[in-house]
Amino acid sequence: MSSEVKTALEAIAADGRLDLAKKLASKAAALKAVTSKTLDATVVSAVALTKDQQATVSKALPSYAPAGQTVNVEFVVVRPPLGGRRAHAVPRACRPALSPITRRSTPLQ
């Protein structure tokens, strides 16, 4: 940890404002992105990309960055729930009843 970061954290701790630590980190990251010659990009996918796919993405991303900046690419796999769907529990009383004759939704009695 640099002395500047340590000093900033000590100052907000002394003021009892540690809730500002996340905001301070976010602002520092934004400042770093503006002043540095590198950008960090995270590619999130549901399945692991092959080496060829990673190479294609890594090769394409610099065209979206400002001129003269290098793009550091990180690949992350986030598995979706089973079947790619999310389940929501709905109380039985909130579900519409289906009429066996018409198969249309009818109001609950």
Tens-place pLDDT, residues 67-81:
888 888 999 988 776
Residue 52 has pLDDT above 90, yes or no: yes
**Confidence (pLDDT) at 37:** 82
Q: How far apart are CA 45 and CA 7, in angstroms?
A: 38
Query: Quick one: the chain helix, strand, coil %, rounded to 5?
Result: 45, 20, 35
- What CA–CA distance (Å, rounded) separates 21 from 28? 10
pLDDT in tens, 81-101: 665 555 444 454 444 444 444
Q: What is the pLDDT of residue 84?
A: 54
**Domain ranges for the chain:** 1-35, 38-81
Rounded Cα–Cα distance for residues 66 and 39 (Å):
9
What's this model's pTM, rounded to 2 decimal places?
Answer: 0.47
Say how far apart CA 43 and CA 49 lie, in whole Å: 10
The confidence score (pLDDT) of residue 25 equals 81
Closest CA to 24 of 6, 49, 42: 6
pLDDT 10s digits, 3-43: 877 888 888 888 888 888 888 888 877 777 677 788 888 89
